[in-house]
Structure formats: C-alpha cells, structure tokens
Amino acid sequence: MTSLDDLDVDALDFGGISPQEFARLVKDTPRTALAAVVAGPARGRILDEVFGRMETRFRPETAARLRALVRWHVEDAGHPDAVYETEIADGRCTLTRGDSGREPRLVLTLSAAEFLRLVSGNASGVTLFMTRKLKVAGDLGLASGLTRYFDIPKA
C-alpha cells in the first residue's frame, strides 16, 4: 500500500497522476500524515493541480442553466489562506486563483487535508459540514449538491 506520506511529494509530478490514483493515495494516507503533506512545500502545487482539474472534471450536462460563483478558502495554521474561485456558467466551469472581488453565491472554507478528502471522494460534504470541518456561507442548496456537477474519482 502506497500513500502520499510514503512518496517524495516535493518531487512528485501531480499532473502525471490520474484522478483515480490520487483518490487512492488520499484514501491510503492517514489524516495526520495528509495534513503534514499539504502543510509542506508542495502545498501550492497540490492545490493548484486539484483546482485546475475541476474544469476538466466538470459535468456540464448536470448544470443546465446554473450560474454560480463559488469561492473556496483553504485554511491551515501557518499558511496564508489559499483562495480559489470556480465559476459555473454557460455549461462551463472556469477557475480563478484568488479573490476576484465579485459577490460569490457560495463560500466554502475548510482545511487543505479535508479539501483533498472531499474532492477525491474520500469524504462527504454533508459529514464535513456536520462535524464543523467545512464552513458554508451562502446558498446551502447549491452547497448540498455541488459534487454532482463534477466527476469525482473513486478510490
């Protein structure tokens, strides 16, 4: 069994790892080790790669006429918040790094480790919310169904 803490994460080419393999790596990495991995020097590369894949993992057929700006705050002690925005409109999902200054329909705030667990299919948004590991501001209906707009890998 290989997990992220078994690998040289600083030298790892995250773009060369399939979403399914990444989901398995996240699943096989204990929570404390996952938090340590994303607290290290590779944090920005990991987050950029995962957020960057949202555009290609988007399922436009599920979005119909949805128009929404979702702002993500990835918080961790000792690191400045990483802020990303995903905009769903016109059957597409586009990513912006940073705060555009526009009014989001939904703001999601969570740690990097919990974010990786969520987007890799290894955690439920509802469970993260109920255990206060995910903070939600704005459209709760959109938040509850957000994962259906993306092809979430299975480990």
Residue 88 neighbours by CB distance under 10 Å = 23
At residue 153, the 3 state secondary structure works out as: coil
Of the chain, the percentage scoring pLDDT greater than 90 comes to 75
Query: In which band, very low, low, confident or very high, does the pLDDT at 60 lie, cut at 50, 70 and 90?
Result: very high
What number is the average pLDDT over the span 89-111? Answer: 96
pLDDT single digits (tens) 132-149: 999 999 999 999 999 999
pLDDT at 54 exceeding the cut of 90 = yes
CB 118 within 8 A of CB 126: no
Residue whose structure tokens are 């060369």: 16
pLDDT of residue 1 exceeding 60, the answer is no
Task: Please write the tens of the pLDDT for every residue from 37-50.
Answer: 898 888 999 999 99
Residues in the chain: 155
Residues near 109 by beta carbon (within 8 Å), at least 6 away in sequence = 72, 73, 75, 134, 135, 136, 137
Question: How does residue 92 score in pLDDT terms, banded at 50, 70 and 90?
Answer: very high
For the whole model, what pTM was predicted?
0.91
pLDDT greater at residue 20 or residue 9: 20
pLDDT, greater one: 23 or 78: 23
Please tell me the predicted confidence (pLDDT) of residue 64: 84
Spatial distance between the Cα atoms of 90 and 114, rounded to a whole number of angstroms: 29
Look over the chain and give the mean of its residue pLDDT values, rounded to a whole number. 92
Say what percent of the chain tops pLDDT 70.
98
- Cα Rg of the chain, angstroms: 15
Beta bridge partners, 68, equal 88
